[in-house]
Amino acid sequence: MWISSISAAPYRGVFLVPSQRDAVFFVEKNYERAVGESPLKCIQTPSLKALPDLVSEHGLSGSRVGFEFDVIPVALFNRIKTFFKDWEMVDLSPEMKKIRSVKSEFEISQIKRAGQIVTRVFSEVRHHLREGMTEVELDGIVTSLGRAMGHQGLLRMRDLTKK
């Protein structure tokens, strides 16, 4: 079973990917949005503390839990580890990087769309930039322009603690 915590997304939860069954997304925050956006089966959970009972309730079992060791915060890892005391904890970081390196048609279309927004925003900067302007002022303008063109205003990265 692979557990991946998602906090950079607009919802918070944990993916469980059993070796012999379909993946399940236990959603702690923004459940309705996750159901609408995720192709996975979504199960609402009040907190991570409920995870062991939910895993059992849904007939999920295993003896190994995989994490992305290079990005999971130690406190979150230790917390989840207490729920699965007798299970082996393994690093799936290399496998996840490899999986994520292959882009779907949807991801490619989003990358192209982001490139178009960046190109348009950068072409507008020259009309707003002036001597004596602070970086914060320019950032506010650039962010506003990007959002008006469809950027969500947050930059996602492969780090569970940042946006």
Write the pLDDT tens digit of every residue in 109-128.
988 999 999 999 999 999 99
Residue 1 contacts residue 154 (beta carbons within 8 Å): no
Q: Residue range 66-71: average pLDDT?
A: 85
Q: What's the confidence (pLDDT) of residue 117?
A: 93
| Predicted confidence band of residue 9 (pLDDT cuts 50, 70, 90) | low
Long-range contacts for 14-19 (Cβ within 8 Å, ≥24 apart)? 14/45, 14/48, 14/51, 14/80, 15/40, 16/55, 16/60, 18/60, 18/61, 18/62, 19/62
| Predicted confidence band of residue 22 (pLDDT cuts 50, 70, 90) | confident
Segment (H or E) for 82: helix 74-83
| Predicted confidence band of residue 163 (pLDDT cuts 50, 70, 90) | very low
* CA 57 to centroid of chain Cα atoms: 25
Q: What's the confidence (pLDDT) of residue 7?
A: 44
Residue type, 25: F
Q: Residue range 138-163: average pLDDT?
A: 76
Q: Which two tokens stand for residue 20?
A: 């012999």
Residue 47 contacts residue 36 (beta carbons within 8 Å): no
Residue 72 contacts residue 5 (beta carbons within 8 Å): yes
Q: Does domain 2-101 have CATH number 3.40.350.10?
A: yes
In a 3-state reduction of DSSP, which class is residue 71? coil
> Structural domain boundaries of the chain?
2-101, 105-148
Q: What's the confidence (pLDDT) of residue 161?
A: 52
Q: What's the confidence (pLDDT) of residue 113?
A: 92
Write the pLDDT tens digit of every residue in 75-102.
888 888 888 888 888 898 898 888 878 8
The Cα 4–Cα 25 span in angstroms is 9
Q: Which two tokens stand for residue 58?
A: 């849904």
Return left, alpha or beta for 59; rule: phi > 0 is left, psi -120 to 50 is alpha, else beta. Answer: left
